[in-house]
Amino acid sequence: MEKNQIWSRRIAFGALAFALLFLSASADDVVVLSEENFEKEVGQDKGALVEFYAPWCFSFFRFEPIAFFALCVTGMAAGTTKIRSEVMSCDSKGKDYTLGRCGHCKKLAPEYEKLGSSFKKAKSVLIGKVDCDEHKSLCSKYGVSGYPTIQWFPKGSLEPKKYEGPRTAESLAEFVNTEEGTNVKIATAPSNVVVLTPENFNEVVLDEAKDVLVEFYAPWCGHCKSLAPTYEKVATAFKLEENVVIANLDADKYRDLAEKYDVSGFPTLKFFPKGNKAGEEYGGGRDLDDFVAFINEKSGTSRDGKGQLTSQAGIVESLDVLVKEFVAASSDEEKKSVFTRMEEEVEKLQGSASSYGKIYLKAAKNYLGKGSDYAKNEIQRLQRILDKSVSPAKADELTLKKNILSTYA
């Protein structure tokens, strides 16, 4: 059996097994509708686009035909079990069953959130949603039989028009603009994720001076879409790190590259550190904190999820030991002796540690010249600056100094 058939079957069964775990996302800019407020919000002085969804509605991938035999979602014989006793039995009867795109609530959620955010200030438009699990009668009233169903309610009308177009924020916005006469654009935030192609892959990923995390994804992959916002936050958190790159590759479009690196499912994440450009599988968690901890450990960085330097940034253990001796020394002569040893230690350092070492030495000189209160006073001064609005690069510079000075305080 070919490799892609094997992983297709494996992921398909996994998707079925965990289908009930996929929850629909919510957003403050999308109005939550119910039997109580539907007619107060819809059919009034605004045109309304409404998504009818189910919180358990899940998203499958598009695969080549795979043998499904008599298994249903729970592994029982086809026809004996249904999801939430309402949806989908797998009438395979022992023949091959082609698993298509079945349900898109989770996939639609981030697009619908972007739509809601973009139309937030449009006074003539309401972007809303109805949980059909909670409000079955309301969904039944408007003929909803599958999820998600998107309907347009013109201003002053409760007679809907079903939306049949692509389920992207841009396409939905174009539809609403046409229906209501608005001119709202979907704002596209600049991305810090480096987009890879066959033309730049080797230049970016195989750069021996960089640690590179690569997501191999497919545009139709529901899990990839779910990961995208988190992955963007990871890229943003490390955007000031010159030797760290967060990148992605459309593995559906560039299959040869994906096969070269043994990609057999989506998303696949591989880490290409400075010392191993063959790539190593990332098997950690997929929350922001998981990615940040992984990069910090592998690359020697000290960032938090917001991209700010942690209190450990700039700290060099070998110099910390000497600083303790320096501060504890009872005379200036003893301090100068320790300072000489610090200079010798700094000469051994390389890379970013070498630049941190220079800050250690400058702090020691000022300590000798200005007294023991220097570090405490300087930390307070730097903190006052940090409390104001400063650029991320400047914040990094001041935080490094403050962290190193704290070893003298």
* Catalytic positions, written as ranges: 57, 105, 221, 224
The type of residue at 153 is F
**Which burial class, exposed, middle or buried, applies to 260 when counting CB atoms under 10 A from its CB (0-12, 13-18, 19+)?**
exposed
φ and ψ at residue 131, rounded to 5 degrees: -80, 105
- Alpha carbon dihedral 236, 240, 241, 245, in 10-degree steps, equals 40
Give the count of alpha carbons within 13 A of 79, CB side only. 6
Secondary-structure percent of the chain, ordered helix, strand, coil, rounded to 5: 40, 15, 45
| Torsion, Cα of 129, 107, 183, 191 (10° steps) | 130
69 conformational bin, left if phi > 0, alpha if psi -120 to 50, beta if neither = left
**Which one, of 152, 207, 165, 190, lies nearest residue 42 by Cα?**
152
Could you give the angle at the alpha carbon of 169 between the alpha carbons of 47 and 117, nearest 5°? 65
Amino acid at 270: K
Angle, CA of 397, 357 and 394, to the nearest 5°: 5
CA angle 304, 317, 330 (to 5 degrees): 125
H or E stretch including 152?
strand 149-153
Q: Give the type of residue at 242.
A: E
